Copies of this chain bind each other. A is one copy, B any other.
Amino acid sequence: MLISKSFIPILKNNPSEAKIKSHQLMLRVGMIKQSSAGIYSWLPLGFKVMKKIEQIVREEQNKIGAQEILMPTIQSSEIWKESGRYEDYGEEMLRIKDRQDREMLYGPTNEELVTDIFRSSIKSYKSLPQLLYHIQWKFRDEIRPRFGIMRCREFYMKDAYSFDVSDEEALFSYNKFFISYLKTFKRLDLTAIPMAADTGPIGGNLSHEFIILAETGESKIFTDKRIFDVESEGTELNKNSLNDLRKKFEQFYSVTDEKFNKEEFETKVNEKNRLITKGIEVGHIFYFGDKYSKPMGGSVDLPEGKKDFVKMGSYGIGVSRLVGAIIEAKYDEKDEVMKWPISVAPYDVSIIPMINKNDISALDKANRINLELEKNNIEAIIDDTDENFSSKIKKMNLIGAPYQIIIGKQSKDDHIEFKEVGKDSKKIKLSEVIKIIKEQKAKY
């Protein structure tokens, strides 16, 4: 992609309305544009990152046998009255009357709707377990939207739902999502810690939040440092292996604000291991048994001939929010250098040729290099403007491709200047550049 043809409206300075660095960078480099309070359009650069995150989330859901569906954004109030949450949900629910004066709403979550789908389709324990997920826009009418897409009103979320015949099977499903979340965040190059959490308006008695550490996070967390060393590699998709993994995490105290108990913290965690800090919630999983299936009549025939309500859990990942969370984790706002994880980078590499009005040989070389990269499925962005070198570097540092190729005016031999962002540059052959980038891409 030539930068002159792209739609990447970069601002000269940080926008003053943005208080946290993800919001700053996203507006600065034209990833998003606010369309009204807490509602954003995703411009090409932001869109590319979000789509890559979405695809990783999808792949990890598919790997545990979850099936993708797509529920609508607009729901009828009737199913919410059945579950009893229509009144409870309060003003965060965007309530709508259609032209026939029917009470509708913009779904903030989908426990009711998916239970309705389940109850009309599945009748026997033989068809269980069922793991269903969708990736869809949600709306929560925040009273004070802020921090860009981190606390906005219309947001993009993956929510999954499990249906099982017993508590034991349901916990197996819960644990499948537990490992799938760890793998998802790892592929995004994030360290996300599962923490015992409050269930809030979703309900139930078992819940984990997945939190990444960040100064600007809104969740206060209390944890035993050693939890960061727990390894999930080698976990298999069976009951025992998944139970063992949960236990390995749960031996270390690790909770969010609402679950915090000072005495317990101080008893269980040696002083030198205590960590009190802030984090960003990027995923949240819940087990709530028959909280929805019972009032809504979601039951199945059991082997012995009786009927019972299915046991359900729900599992959310904030897809749009992850774009911001990754920036919070990876952006050096002092030097204004972003380095996207290769798995979700909008471009793998930026190519910066030095161009004179009378000498475009460096641009020709850039285009030739780009053709080779394309053949290897490496996506590059080329700065084909005639700006000076330092302003080009500044721009590419904001766009955040993790690798850079710099082509000077006199660059004639077959070695090119190649740099991983944050490291020293080196002169190597194009074939080596391709090898390095391909190896990194294969890792995630």
- Min CB distance A193 to B, Å, is 30
Does A295 sit within 8 A of B, measured CB to CB? no
Are the C-beta atoms of A36 and B76 separated by less than 8 Å?
A: yes
Residues of B within 8 A of A106 (CB): 74, 96
Does A121 sit within 8 A of B, measured CB to CB? yes
Residues of B within 8 A of A30 (CB): 121
- Min CB distance A274 to B, Å, is 40
Report A1-31 CB contacts with B as 1/0, cut-off 8 Å.
0001111010000000000000000000010
Residues of B within 8 A of A43 (CB): 69, 117, 121
Does A39 sit within 8 A of B, measured CB to CB? yes
Measured CA separation A36–B6 after assembly (Å)? 41
Does A71 sit within 8 A of B, measured CB to CB? yes
Does A120 sit within 8 A of B, measured CB to CB? yes
A136-144, A182-190, A373-381, A410-418: which lies at the B interface?
A136-144
Q: Which residue of chain B lies nearest to A40 when distances are taken between CB atoms in the complex?
A: B72
- Min CB distance A36 to B, Å, is 4
Stoichiometry, as copies per complex, reads 2
Residues of B within 8 A of A297 (CB): none
Does A215 sit within 8 A of B, measured CB to CB? no
3 residue pairs, one from A and one from B, having the closest CB atoms: A9-B121, A36-B76, A42-B70
- Min CB distance A14 to B, Å, is 17
Measured CA separation A132–B43 after assembly (Å)? 9
Measured CA separation A39–B137 after assembly (Å)? 15
Residues of B within 8 A of A332 (CB): none
Residues of B within 8 A of A68 (CB): 44, 47-48, 51
Residues of B within 8 A of A153 (CB): 74, 98
Are the C-beta atoms of B99 and A91 separated by less than 8 Å?
A: yes
The residue that A67 contacts in the complex, of B44, B137, B154, with Cβ under 8 A, is B44
Measured CA separation A116–B35 after assembly (Å)? 8
Does A422 sit within 8 A of B, measured CB to CB? no
Chain A residues within CB distance 8 Å of chain B = 4-7, 9, 30, 33, 35-37, 39-44, 47-48, 50-51, 65, 67-76, 78, 91-92, 94, 96, 98-100, 102, 104, 106, 113, 116-117, 120-122, 126-127, 130, 132, 137, 139, 141, 143, 153-154
The residue that A70 contacts in the complex, of B47, B70, B120, with Cβ under 8 A, is B47
- Min CB distance A52 to B, Å, is 12
Are the C-beta atoms of B75 and A35 separated by less than 8 Å?
A: yes
Q: Apart from A36-B74, A36-B104, A43-B121, what are 16 other A-B pairs with CB-CB below 8 Å?
A: A33-B117, A33-B121, A35-B72, A36-B75, A37-B100, A39-B74, A39-B75, A42-B69, A42-B70, A43-B69, A47-B70, A48-B68, A72-B137, A98-B141, A99-B141, A99-B143
Measured CA separation A41–B112 after assembly (Å)? 13
Measured CA separation A141–B120 after assembly (Å)? 26
Which of A74, A100, A102 lies at the interface centre, i.e. has the most chain B CB atoms within 10 A of its CB?
A: A74
Residues of B within 8 A of A139 (CB): 74
Residues of B within 8 A of A127 (CB): 4
Which of A39, A51, A102 lies at the interface centre, i.e. has the most chain B CB atoms within 10 A of its CB?
A: A39
- Min CB distance A34 to B, Å, is 10
- Min CB distance A387 to B, Å, is 13
Measured CA separation A154–B96 after assembly (Å)? 14
Are the C-beta atoms of B94 and A98 separated by less than 8 Å?
A: yes
Q: Which residue of chain B lies nearest to A106 when distances are taken between CB atoms in the complex?
A: B74
Asked whether A7 and B96 contact (CB < 8 A) given A43-B69, A70-B41, A72-B41, the answer is no
The residue that A113 contacts in the complex, of B35, B37, B102, with Cβ under 8 A, is B35
Q: Which residue of chain B lies nearest to A139 when distances are taken between CB atoms in the complex?
A: B74
